[in-house]
């Protein structure tokens, strides 16, 4: 078979972005809620997002700089307050999630623009999204600036977890009840398809 070949050092950033976001799929979405020092709440999705550690529990978001080098509101708020909340994106609110990525002035809140409801957290000031069943309250652990454009990789320690029992079965988060949304490439998103089950030979969990 002959493959198309690409050298990221020569094909240009747009093509590299298309290849990365087309190949690393489906991506979970870190829907981050924050608040700034003036009390303005913010909500934005980030799909360069994953879990990085269990003890202590940590998750990461890459919050790219704006083309002019300035920082997105989420990152500014995380730096200012040292906190953010991760909200799981579920099917009933996937459109609101997309709309929360629209660029709006710093003094306006995506909660108001999308009609979503901010509810208080326990250990942090950043609010949670009432309409979704899982929230992880996070304290900033570290911001690592990557590459020549210093794109910030934000690592947060999960200090408190909220899970609606309606999306659990026998102590596990139940994928069908949760109904999570993933990001594909371009403007494409997905719900769960067929769910497969296969155990290891020794039957142990890994």
Ligand X SMILES: Cc1cc2nc3c(=O)[nH]c(=O)nc-3n(C[C@H](O)[C@H](O)[C@H](O)COP(=O)(O)O)c2cc1C
Under the rule (CB under 6 A), what is the footprint of ligand X? Answer: 29, 42, 44-48, 62-64, 72-74, 98, 101, 103, 183
How many CA atoms are closer than 13 Å to the CA of 124, on its beta-carbon side?
Answer: 32
Using the minimum distance from each CB to ligand X, give the nearer residue, 117 or 169: 117
Using the minimum distance from each CB to ligand X, give the nearer residue, 140 or 168: 140
Min dist. Cβ of residue 51 to ligand X (A):
15
Q: Are 94 and 31 in contact (CB under 8 A)?
A: no
Min dist. Cβ of residue 143 to ligand X (A):
13
Using the minimum distance from each CB to ligand X, give the nearer residue, 94 or 137: 94
Using the minimum distance from each CB to ligand X, give the nearer residue, 63 or 88: 63
Q: Are 32 and 46 in contact (CB under 8 A)?
A: yes
Q: State the Rg of the chain over Cα.
A: 18
Q: Which of 161, 163, 74 is nearest to 124 (CA)?
A: 161
Min dist. Cβ of residue 190 to ligand X (A):
11
Rounded to the nearest 10 degrees, how much is the dihedral formed by the CA atoms of 193, 194, 200, 204? 70
Min dist. Cβ of residue 57 to ligand X (A):
20
What is Dmax (Cα atoms) for the chain? 58
Min dist. Cβ of residue 74 to ligand X (A):
3
Using the minimum distance from each CB to ligand X, give the nearer residue, 81 or 168: 81
Residue 45: strand pairing partners: 31
């Amino acid at each position: 078979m002959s493959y198309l070949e690409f050298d990221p050092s020569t094909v240009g950033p747009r093509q590299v972005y298309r290849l990365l976001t087309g190949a690393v799929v489906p991506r979970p979405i870190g829907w981050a809620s924050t608040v700034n020092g003036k009390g303005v709440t913010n909500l934005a999705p980030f799909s360069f997002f994953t879990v990085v550690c269990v003890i202590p529990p940590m998750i990461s978001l890459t919050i790219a700089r704006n083309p002019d080098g300035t920082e997105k509101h989420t990152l500014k708020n995380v730096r200012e307050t040292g906190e953010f909340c991760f909200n799981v994106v579920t099917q009933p609110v996937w459109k609101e999630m997309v709309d929360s990525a629209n660029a709006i002035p710093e003094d306006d809140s995506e909660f108001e623009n999308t009609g979503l409801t901010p509810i208080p957290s326990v250990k942090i000031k950043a609010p949670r999204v009432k309409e979704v069943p899982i929230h992880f309250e996070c304290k900033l652990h570290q911001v690592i600036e990557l590459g020549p454009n210093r794109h910030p990789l934000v690592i947060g320690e999960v200090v408190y977890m909220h899970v609606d029992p309606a999306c659990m079965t026998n102590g596990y988060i139940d994928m069908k009840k949760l109904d999570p949304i993933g990001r594909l490439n371009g403007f494409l998103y997905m719900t769960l398809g067929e769910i497969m089950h296969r155990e290891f030979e020794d039957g142990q969990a890994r």
